[in-house]
Chain A
């Protein structure tokens, strides 16, 4: 039997305790004090979650913060959200910025702007236009990064890994400080089909590896195919 839950609406400034709801709509400054689960959550303005959230759909227009893990079916952020825990949505769509101390996992992620994680990221399909910073491992079936800022991950693994620099991006910032340049820095990249630009890595391992301009790679291990741009520096390359 499906239980019917009440909808919730906050206009202006409001505080609500946690619980199970149908649709939640907030306009203005809203605070949720306890654990909350709902079918959909739309927040316009500022939203503060003091505990965990489970939502079929979660949408933020504005800024938000969550003190524990959030999860559910779909999340869309237009603006900025920072989370102290994990982010577990199947679909994630960001226009702006998502910061989380924990891990992020799901099926599909579309990032326009930035994603900063303390832990790991795991997606079947991950597309980034902007910047991505992952404290631990970045694991995606299909990973496409169009860099417009500094990108970092401890380790990258996947099937298809394509990293490119957005043309002419942040040229002046890069002149000011190299830490603002659109560049990927990582220790290890492992995958089947790898294409890189402007990347610093200690080791790149893959079936087919293409090293583009601006790369500084310590060692490449490849199975079938390898090519490197003349404007790239590769310490050694070996077919294994």
Chain B
């Protein structure tokens, strides 16, 4: 594992950036603190980075910084994003959701480009349920309708999404987390998702920490 480290000096030579740039990016949280690994070497203490994480990250920063300001970039890489907008192409390029989920969303809402975080969250939840096989495409439309209409009520708070079926008919329920809900015997609870957890998963995906 230790072989996968790159020294700071080697990194700067390889990427052509300066110390100042490196520290500026660190300050802007484009490079996480825990990627700076201090180790003793023959010249005293030196800083090393995980090679497989830092090089793609610096490439991304160099490629993206012409289109985005550093602060916008920080939002992209930050685990606590608020204001992220991605186009349909970017969402697919970065493998955030599958094209079938995205297409269904566009078909239902007519929303074409610049997806804000809350929109992406809906598509992400849809994608998750589609992929797990819990819902059909038709039920996906129902889900999107539910989320579009009601998810904003829970903004800033966690809520639970429950999918039930009774005699083959699906129904989605959004309820504030921690509340108790009881069904009659004929109801089967297909799945339940906590939105806060989905938010976090999506942030990680957008952050590209596992590039």
Residues of A within 8 A of B (CB): 122-124, 139-141, 157-160, 187-188, 190-193, 202-203, 205-207, 219, 223
Residue of B19, B44, B45 near A157 (CB, 8 A) is B19
Evaluate contact between B44 and A206: CB separation under 8 angstroms.
no
Q: List 5 A-B contacts (CB under 8 A).
A: A139-B23, A139-B27, A159-B24, A192-B18, A219-B43
A187 to B46 alpha-carbon distance, docked (Å):
11
Cβ of B20 within 8 Å of any chain A Cβ, yes or no, is yes
Residue of A158, A191, A192, A203 near B44 (CB, 8 A) is A203
Evaluate contact between B19 and A141: CB separation under 8 angstroms.
no
Q: In the complex, what residues of B have CB within 8 A of residue A202's CB?
A: 44
Residue of A122, A188, A192 near B20 (CB, 8 A) is A192
A123 to B21 alpha-carbon distance, docked (Å):
14
Residue of B23, B43, B45 near A158 (CB, 8 A) is B23
Residue of B19, B27, B43 near A190 (CB, 8 A) is B19
Q: Within B8-30, which residues are at the interface with A (CB < 8 Å)?
A: 18-24, 26-27
A122 to B26 alpha-carbon distance, docked (Å):
9
Q: How near does chain B come to A86, taking the closest CB pair, in angstroms?
A: 13
Q: How near does chain A come to B169, taking the closest CB pair, in angstroms?
A: 37
Q: In the complex, what residues of B have CB within 8 A of residue A205's CB?
A: 19
Q: How near does chain A come to B82, taking the closest CB pair, in angstroms?
A: 16
Q: In the complex, what residues of A have CB within 8 A of residue B22's CB?
A: 157
A141 to B23 alpha-carbon distance, docked (Å):
8
A202 to B23 alpha-carbon distance, docked (Å):
19
A45 to B23 alpha-carbon distance, docked (Å):
39
Q: A159-B20, A188-B45 are in contact. List 19 more A-B contacts (CB 8 A).
A: A123-B27, A124-B27, A139-B26, A140-B27, A141-B23, A141-B27, A157-B23, A158-B23, A160-B20, A187-B44, A191-B20, A191-B23, A193-B20, A203-B43, A203-B44, A206-B19, A207-B18, A207-B20, A223-B18
A205 to B43 alpha-carbon distance, docked (Å):
13
Q: In the complex, what residues of B have CB within 8 A of residue A191's CB?
A: 19-20, 23
Q: In the complex, what residues of B have CB within 8 A of residue A192's CB?
A: 18-20
Evaluate whether A122 and B27 lie within 8 angstroms (CB atoms) in the complex, with A187-B44, A202-B44 already known: yes
Q: How near does chain A come to B127, taking the closest CB pair, in angstroms?
A: 33
Evaluate contact between B44 and A159: CB separation under 8 angstroms.
no
A193 to B18 alpha-carbon distance, docked (Å):
11
Q: How near does chain A come to B41, taking the closest CB pair, in angstroms?
A: 12
4 pairs of A and B residues whose beta carbons are closest in the complex: A159-B20, A192-B20, A157-B23, A190-B19
